[in-house]
Amino acid sequence: MGFDEEWRRHRAEAAARIDAEPATVPEEPERNRVAEFPGRLAGFQRRVVLVPFDERGGLWTSQFGGVDWICAFSDDEALARFAQARGETERVWEYHRVLGARLLDDVIPELDFACGVALDAAGPDGVLFPPVRGIVPDTAAVYGGVAA
């Protein structure tokens, strides 16, 4: 199963759980993840990440939740997990090294579509940095499903 199909399956399962389960107070681990997010964002902004090129030579993106996501990876091992999840381990993965802050502050505002960053998407510690205020510049942020 490819990366895009896997994300669609997870999204459908999550939507089904939301519809089937009553609202509950988040458990402690979930609250901890929310509390940790500002630190993870700051760490990402200071970190040099790997962004693979797609077959057209552009930055690799995937769609999820109606938004495009630039796929970025912390290191070669994280990129290798992504390649394995896609069944593309034999392929040579060319990539660009870029500072996380540059992706959020310079690259995303230059795009003509809503786009966030998916860091380490195929790993256990993957995180999404959505195109919202406080993560990307206001000019690139999405407000209620509409890009600014």
DSSP string, 90-126: TS---EEEEEHHHIIIIIHHHSSS-EEEEESTTSTT-
Q: What are phi and psi of 115, to 5 degrees?
A: -150, 135
Q: Can you give the pTM of this predicted structure?
A: 0.75
Domain holding 59, by residue range, is: 3-147
pLDDT digits (tens, 9 = 90+) for 39-72: 999 999 999 999 999 989 999 999 988 899 999 9
In DSSP terms, which residues pair with 117 in a beta bridge?
70, 129
Please report the pLDDT score of residue 36 as a whole number.
Answer: 86
Q: Which residue has the higher pLDDT, 119 or 1?
A: 119
**Span 77-93, average pLDDT:** 93
The string of pLDDT tens digits covering residues 5-30 is 776 776 677 667 666 666 665 566 56
Instruction: Indicate the number of domains in the chain.
Output: 1
